[in-house]
């Protein structure tokens, strides 16, 4: 409610107390349990941020809207409730839209609330300040887009946005609020009556018992069954049921990268160390919150057994058959589906043939032995290799299992994913479904803000550059984030020679540890694995912003990491 002394209230000469769009928005956010807003202020939303902060909502101010949006998306993933990103009109909105689209692709719930310019000017294209039809621009990039046209609809608009983002397959929702609506004054009683709190934002969706039985029969008849855990399973927070099902059946499983830690990576049933063999040979595959997209080779042979049958558990019915025939679709939320599977499978009905178990463990032992040779060679090599730095990081993280790991890059992503085991669910956030760069600092900030636990962001030097300025935000809010830059002086590699006097397109040069000192954080430069380990231990113990620039051999790294095959074939370009 606006205090009587405010000019707006006086202007309308209201006989009773009044409120306005800004107050209604903040009241609606508070009513719906929003604790944090991630954004960048400016016209027309600065006072939304100010009032939110004054009302007890934490406002985390960023340097770029994409980073704020990525933070909101990560907050959504970590809390199972939409994260909120606040942006200004046109350019700020568009910057945030990148993150909204990325969140939608990853099935993370978030709401981007953006101020926008005056409708009567925008719609006639009269050339308003930051003129843009944001609603139309947002629509193709998110799950849904809504616009509020009257202050009395702000509560409704927010409820609709939160509901859409959180329920069914989670995703990003855009909520457009023109400046005039934020400034619109209405009676306080009318405003209060227009707000409501969502009941059960993401209702459970129970599977059909017949579909559950079909899935059980298929799994029971398998000779080489396999479970693939995806980030949908991590998001669903059905940790206990998933563990009980996997352990009671003995099924081998592989985790997708953000599902790592759902069961500890050193679990005896993990087939992660024999992933290729498991995919190539499995005859019945249970997909738990994982899509058969490019990250799983679309389910196509030769990566997969051509006659493999799929059981897919997903909240989105339309996901079924998107790539391969799904022999047993199980539509529902993963918690309810796991409960049903546990209830309806008879004891001993689903088992794992010994031959399959042995095949996997033999191959796994071979792969571990091969990897051990690589790791040993890298452990002490100088100049430092990716795997040298990563082993040092791995050893420190093993003593800090509660730390959140954010990871992006090409080689930095591939090698860290395989080297660093996770022990706890939802503690790894990475480039995700698009394989994007630029999520690093946003995700790290959200993890620190939402959980209060320490965060280690393992970044390729190129990836870090996209959101690197947020180091300032990390220092400003004194967040417990240690950014570890694996700096091989370039995109993929940093050893390409200059051409025509200019650096090669893949070359980068930076002393990242110097950067953080400008904002009051602690910088480390590490040239050996021992230096990496001691810097990381010290930085984690300090629980304060730090950046460790790890100097990696510029010749270490491969073009595009393990997805080099996605580059166009054509004629090889040398530099
Ligand atoms: P990954 O990249 O780890 O393989 P994906 O993002 O491809 O995972 O797949 C996640 C899937 O999980 C999506 O298809 C999404 O619809 C689904 N999903 C998200 N939340 C739930 C839930 N609570 N219950 C069931 N499925 C879910």
Quick check: 241 and 339 in contact, CB under 8 A?
yes
CA of 184 to the centre of ligand 1 (A): 40
Residue of 211, 230, 298 best suited for mutating to test ligand 1, as the one with most atoms within 8 Å of CB: 230
* Alpha-carbon span 503 to 496, nearest angstrom: 8
Average pLDDT over residues 552-563: 90
Take atom 24 of ligand 1 and give the residue whose Cα is closest.
Answer: 333
Match 């209201």 to its residue by tokens.
14
Average pLDDT over residues 178-192: 98
* Alpha-carbon span 454 to 396, nearest angstrom: 13
Average pLDDT over residues 386-415: 97
Our answer on whether the CB atom of 234 is closer than 6 Å to any ligand 1 atom is no
Q: What is the band of 574 on the pLDDT scale with cuts at 50, 70, 90? A: low
Q: Residue 422 has what pLDDT? A: 97
What b-and-e string marks burial along 515-545, b requiring 16 or more CB atoms within 10 Å of the CB?
Answer: bbeeeebbbbbbebbebbbbbbeebbeeebb
Q: Which of 207, 196, 266, 261 is nearest to 229 (CA)?
A: 261
Residue of 227, 314, 331 best suited for mutating to test ligand 1, as the one with most atoms within 8 Å of CB: 314
CA of 289 to the centre of ligand 1 (A): 4
Q: Residue 6 has what pLDDT? A: 44
Q: What is the band of 292 on the pLDDT scale with cuts at 50, 70, 90? A: very high
For residue 453, pLDDT beyond 50 = yes
Q: How far is CA 344 from CA 216, 245, 348, 382, in A?
A: 8, 11, 12, 57
Q: Residue 116 has what pLDDT? A: 97
Take atom 22 of ligand 1 and give the residue whose Cα is closest.
Answer: 333
For residue 238, pLDDT beyond 50 = yes
Q: CB-based burial of residue 451 (10 Å sphere; 0-12 exposed, 13-18 middle, 19+ buried)?
A: middle
Our answer on whether the CB atom of 235 is closer than 6 Å to any ligand 1 atom is yes
pTM given for the model = 0.96
Q: Residue 4 has what pLDDT? A: 43
At 18, give phi and psi (nearest 5°): -125, 165
Tokens, residue 392:
């040092």
Our answer on whether the CB atom of 430 is closer than 6 Å to any ligand 1 atom is no
Number of residues that this document lists for the chain? 575
Our answer on whether the CB atom of 26 is closer than 6 Å to any ligand 1 atom is no
For residue 7, pLDDT beyond 90 = no
Our answer on whether the CB atom of 256 is closer than 6 Å to any ligand 1 atom is yes
Q: Residue 9 has what pLDDT? A: 45
Take atom 21 of ligand 1 and give the residue whose Cα is closest.
Answer: 232
Our answer on whether the CB atom of 232 is closer than 6 Å to any ligand 1 atom is yes
Task: Show the beta-strand stretches assigned E in 11-149.
Answer: 18-20, 36-39, 58-61, 83-87, 110-116, 144-147
Take atom 6 of ligand 1 and give the residue whose Cα is closest.
Answer: 106
Take atom 4 of ligand 1 and give the residue whose Cα is closest.
Answer: 290
Query: Parallel, antiparallel, or unpaired for β 185-187 and 18-20?
Result: antiparallel
Our answer on whether the CB atom of 19 is closer than 6 Å to any ligand 1 atom is no
At 47, give phi and psi (nearest 5°): -70, -20
Q: Residue 1 has what pLDDT? A: 47
Residue of 78, 234, 289 best suited for mutating to test ligand 1, as the one with most atoms within 8 Å of CB: 289
For residue 530, pLDDT beyond 80 = yes
Strands lying side by side in the sheet with 284-288:
253-255, 225-229, 284-288, 309-314, 326-331
Nearest atom in ligand 1 to the alpha carbon of residue 205 is 24
Q: Residue 90 has what pLDDT? A: 96
Q: Residue 409 has what pLDDT? A: 96
Our answer on whether the CB atom of 174 is closer than 6 Å to any ligand 1 atom is no
How many beta carbons lie within 10 A of that of residue 351, not counting itself? 14
Our answer on whether the CB atom of 107 is closer than 6 Å to any ligand 1 atom is yes
CA of 287 to the centre of ligand 1 (A): 9
Q: Residue 8 has what pLDDT? A: 54
For residue 575, pLDDT beyond 80 = no
For residue 383, pLDDT beyond 80 = yes
Our answer on whether the CB atom of 295 is closer than 6 Å to any ligand 1 atom is yes
CA of 297 to the centre of ligand 1 (A): 16
Q: What is the pLDDT of residues 348-360, one digit of tens each?
A: 999 999 999 999 9
CA of 326 to the centre of ligand 1 (A): 16
């Amino acid at each position: 409610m606006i205090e009587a002394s405010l000019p707006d209230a006086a202007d309308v000469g209201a006989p009773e107390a009044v409120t306005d769009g800004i107050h209604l928005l903040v009241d609606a956010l508070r009513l719906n349990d929003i604790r944090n807003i991630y954004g960048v202020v400016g016209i027309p939303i600065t006072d939304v941020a100010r009032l939110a902060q004054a009302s007890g909502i934490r406002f985390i101010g960023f340097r770029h809207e994409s980073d704020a949006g990525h933070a909101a998306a990560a907050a959504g993933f970590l809390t199972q409730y939409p994260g909120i990103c606040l942006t200004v009109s046109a350019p700020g909105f568009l910057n945030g839209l990148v993150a909204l689209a990325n969140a939608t692709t990853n099935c993370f719930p978030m709401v981007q609330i953006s101020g926008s310019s005056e409708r009567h000017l925008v719609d006639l294209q009269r050339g308003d300040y930051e003129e843009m039809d944001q609603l139309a621009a947002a629509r193709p990039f998110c799950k849904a887009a809504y616009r509020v046209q009257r202050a009395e609809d702000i509560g409704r608009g927010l409820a609709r946005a939160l509901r859409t983002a959180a329920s069914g397959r989670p995703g990003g929702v855009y909520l457009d609020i023109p400046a005039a609506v934020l400034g619109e004054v209405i009676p306080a009683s009318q405003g209060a009556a227009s707000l409501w709190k969502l009941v059960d934002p993401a209702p459970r969706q129970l599977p059909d018992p017949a579909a559950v039985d079909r899935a059980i029969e298929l799994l029971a008849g398998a000779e080489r069954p396999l479970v693939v855990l995806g980030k949908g399973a991590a998001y669903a927070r059905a940790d206990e049921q998933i563990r009980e099902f996997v352990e009671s059946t003995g099924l081998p499983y592989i985790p997708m990268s953000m599902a790592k830690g759902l069961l500890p990576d050193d679990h005896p049933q993990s087939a992660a160390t024999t992933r290729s063999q498991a995919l190539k040979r499995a005859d019945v595959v249970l997909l738990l919150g994982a899509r058969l997209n490019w990250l799983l080779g679309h389910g196509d042979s030769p990566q997969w057994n051509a006659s493999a049958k799929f059981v897919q558990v997903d909240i989105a019915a339309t996901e079924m058959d998107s790539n391969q025939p799904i022999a047993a679709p199980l539509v529902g939320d993963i918690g309810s589906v796991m409960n049903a599977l546990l209830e309806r499978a008879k004891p001993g009905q689903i088992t794992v043939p010994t031959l399959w178990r042995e095949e996997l463990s033999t191959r796994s032992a071979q792969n571990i032995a091969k990897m051990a040779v690589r790791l040993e060679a890298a452990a002490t090599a100088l100049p430092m290799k990716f795997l040298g730095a990563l082993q040092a990081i791995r050893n420190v993280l093993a003593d800090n299992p509660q730390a959140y790991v954010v990871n992006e890059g090409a080689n930095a992503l591939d090698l860290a994913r395989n080297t660093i085991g996770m022990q706890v669910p939802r503690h790894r956030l990475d480039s995700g479904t698009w394989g994007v760069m630029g999520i690093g600092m946003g995700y790290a900030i959200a993890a620190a803000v939402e959980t209060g636990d320490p965060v280690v962001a393992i970044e390729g030097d190129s990836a870090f550059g996209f959101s690197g300025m947020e180091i300032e935000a990390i220092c400003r809010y004194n967040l417990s984030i240690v950014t570890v830059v694996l700096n091989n002086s370039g995109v993929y590699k940093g050893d390409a020679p200059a051409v025509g006097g200019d650096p090669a397109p893949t070359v980068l040069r930076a002393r990242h540890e110097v950067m953080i000192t400008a904002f009051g954080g602690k910088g480390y430069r590490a040239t050996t694995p021992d230096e990496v380990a001691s810097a990381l231990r010290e930085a984690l113990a300090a629980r304060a912003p730090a950046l460790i620039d790890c100097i990696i051999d510029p010749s270490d790294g491969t073009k595009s990491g393990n997805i080099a095959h996605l580059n166009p074939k054509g004629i090889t370009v040398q530099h």
